[in-house]
Chains A and B, each alone.
Chain A
Amino acid sequence: MSKAFVPTAAKPGVITANDLREGHNVWMCEDGWTADPARATLFEDEAIADLALLKAVGQSNLVVGPYLVEARRGPNGPEPTHFREAFRQRGPSNYFHGIQTVKQAVTQTEASNV
């Protein structure tokens, strides 16, 4: 995670961090920060991403340790390319805890909306 990642149209990225007060993983989205990685903003341009990262760093009253990381465009939103990010987006493999519970809640809400 130490190498700075530079997003391009071919290799886009997302900005992710942890929620300061509670600790869970969050992703930068259009209206702030979300616990649903599928809603993350996908950055394809270095300058725009850098500016957004600066903004994220400035929001240290909300989040801890923001960083830019590679993601790919998926049918339902950005998807992880490295397994570390895949685990951050899912949660641990030994229990149904972490972001996977958020995703389940999102899916249930969507299902009840139709």
Chain B
Amino acid sequence: MFDVRPVDTDYVRHRAAQFRAQVERRLDGSLTEDEFRPLRLMNGVYLQLHAYMLRIAIPYGTINPDQMRMLAHLAEAHDKGYGHWTTRQNIQFNWPKLVEIPDMLDKLASVGMHAIQTSGNTIRNVTTDAFAGAAADEYLDPRPYAELLRSWSTDHAEFQFLPRKFKIAITGAAKDRALVQAHDIGLRLIQKDGQTGFEVWVGGGLGRTPMLGKVIRDFLPEADLLAYIEAIISTYNLSGRRDNKYKARIKITVHERGLDVFKAEVEEEFANRRRDFHGADREALAIFKDRFAAPAFRNAPTDGYEAERAKNGAFRSWTDTNLHPHKVDGYASVIVTFKTHGETPGDASADQMRLLADLAEQYGHADLRVTHDQNVVLPHVHKSDLPAIYAALQKAGLAVANAGLTSDIIACPGMDYCALATARSIPIAQEIATHFKNNGLEDEIGKLNIRISGCINACGHHHLGHIGILGLDRAGVENYQITLGGDGYDIPAIGERAGAGFPYDQVVPAVDRLLRAYLEVRADASERFIDAYRRLGPAPFKAALYPEPAHA
């Protein structure tokens, strides 16, 4: 049953106080590590390779300037001056001390943030399109629905111990930038016969058994959202496999039982659950729709912007790559990439976070989004303000014109931080980015999506990269498998393994051969790597990766 909690600050403070007491009991010996581990995980605290890690929720990637400043403060006061944006639109701090985490949670609570359900077998952060409420191709803003799902799933008593973690993504745009097919449940806002509703996808996920989701409902009226989602998750809660962690995700449940059987169970459960929803959810949705009302856009000339574009080549190329079309004339969404060549993908320093907060306040209707590709977006910027924003970003080393290009790489922490890793991913990303900057090919290659994971858990979504790289441990040595042809956006596809893996120092040369082959075979500069791959099949690309040894 759903009840609306207007602002959960009290609840969040209460949870922080609870965790403080749990840490005290762990330190004084009243709790063993076995008892404490599930408690810390419920609060986003992991133990990693070198230190504890705190994962903080950024619901559907939306964050305001004060919250961003708080993250900057935490980075400086409790970490080593930086944080890491994740593919699930969250942030991770890599070096907090256990004894300081209760203070961090208190500080987060003061700005309405927390780390609840960022770990464990619960419903995790609901993710969405980073351009929600702004994109030109959007049918409806998904954030009110995302907020409805967030408040409903937070502390949902029935769903605290699911067979496995559970991830929901929602989009309201024509182009799916939320990767709905790669989630346990994916929702696409659509219209049918003048009515708003959802196309509901189920059973997508990557990890060791990558699968794209399937449509379980062509059209779900919007009023039935929570009842239907509850029906799916409760069906999974009962029939999902708890005997084998690797078969516990809903994708396996749907796959093993068959979509038809699963769907029949869900529909039956839905008929029952529906009776328990008496409209509180719809009232909440109305409140949330108000909360996410569009800001007061202004009507101003964009001559200054055009003039700057004409005279400043660097600005022009940045606006060519790092802007996204806005639904309002004269506006754009700005993509601030955290992918400066040679830097760690997705790492933001405290100063950079503060700059984003200031820019959002000054020019961006106080709105910021963390994107699933580890960048940050200013969703609503008037074009006349772009020259000033660009100048400010440039000073902070954040004005690199590379959104969607070779160096805009998604990479998980890998063996540099993660206790589960089988190989490093960060330095591979750094080296690829630097290599294609130094050889000058990045601009020529154009749109390309490279994704790297440091183990089969696939946090870097390597299966969905046009080029995916997976780091493995082969007999005590790092080894990297390359997959080709994955796509998260236009025609969702799981990449196919190209062949034998490469040792660490052969990865950059292999990617170099691959991309040079692409430049040779593409029809023209407008044909992206993925398009050429689809047209020609894997053969020319495999030949480049694995050249025949020359015969003497």
CB-defined contacts of B478 to chain A, threshold 8 Å: 83
Whether the Cβ atoms of B52 and A93 lie closer than 8 Å is no
Known: A61-B27, A82-B476, A93-B416. A21 touches B97 (CB 8 A): yes
Q: Out of A24, A81, A82, name the residue touching B50 (CB < 8 Å).
A: A24
CB-defined contacts of A87 to chain B, threshold 8 Å: 49, 415-416, 424
Query: A: which residues have CB within 8 A of B?
Result: 18, 20-25, 60-61, 64-65, 81-84, 87-88, 91-95, 97-99
Q: Out of A20, A88, A99, name the residue touching B27 (CB < 8 Å).
A: A20
At the interface, is chain A mostly helix, strand, loop or mixed?
A: loop
| Docked CA distance A61–B27 (Å) | 6
| Docked CA distance A93–B428 (Å) | 11
Q: Out of A23, A60, A82, A94, name the residue touching B416 (CB < 8 Å).
A: A94
Q: Out of B49, B97, B347, B415, name the residue touching A22 (CB < 8 Å).
A: B97
| Docked CA distance A70–B313 (Å) | 56
**How many CB-defined contacts (below 8 Å) exist between A and B?**
74
Whether the Cβ atoms of B427 and A93 lie closer than 8 Å is yes
Interface set, chain B 67-111, CB cutoff 8 A to A: 80, 94-99
CB-defined contacts of B427 to chain A, threshold 8 Å: 93-94
Q: Which residue of A lies closest to B504 (CB)?
A: A83
Whether the Cβ atoms of B477 and A94 lie closer than 8 Å is no
Query: 17 A-B contacts, Cβ less than 8 Å apart?
Result: A22-B97, A22-B98, A23-B50, A23-B96, A24-B50, A61-B29, A64-B33, A65-B47, A83-B473, A83-B477, A83-B478, A84-B415, A87-B415, A93-B424, A93-B427, A94-B347, A94-B427
CB-defined contacts of A23 to chain B, threshold 8 Å: 47, 50-52, 95-98
Interface residue B426 (Cβ < 8 Å from any Cβ of A):
yes
Whether the Cβ atoms of B80 and A97 lie closer than 8 Å is yes
Whether the Cβ atoms of A88 and B426 lie closer than 8 Å is no
Whether the Cβ atoms of B80 and A95 lie closer than 8 Å is yes
Query: B: which residues have CB within 8 A of A?
Result: 26-27, 29, 32-33, 47, 49-52, 80, 94-99, 344, 347, 415-417, 421, 424, 426-427, 430, 473, 476-478
Q: A41: shortest Cβ distance to chain B, in Å?
A: 21
CB-defined contacts of A94 to chain B, threshold 8 Å: 344, 347, 416, 426-427, 430
CB-defined contacts of A21 to chain B, threshold 8 Å: 27, 97-99
| Docked CA distance A89–B29 (Å) | 28
CB-defined contacts of B29 to chain A, threshold 8 Å: 60-61
CB-defined contacts of A20 to chain B, threshold 8 Å: 26-27, 98
Q: A57: shortest Cβ distance to chain B, in Å?
A: 9
Whether the Cβ atoms of B426 and A93 lie closer than 8 Å is yes
CB-defined contacts of B50 to chain A, threshold 8 Å: 23-25, 88, 91-92, 97-99
Whether the Cβ atoms of B47 and A97 lie closer than 8 Å is no
Q: Which 4 A-B pairs have the closest CB atoms?
A: A92-B416, A23-B51, A23-B52, A98-B50
Q: A87: shortest Cβ distance to chain B, in Å?
A: 6
- 11 additional A-B pairs beyond A23-B98, A97-B80, beta carbons within 8 Å, are A20-B27, A21-B27, A24-B51, A60-B29, A83-B415, A84-B415, A87-B415, A93-B427, A95-B80, A98-B50, A98-B51
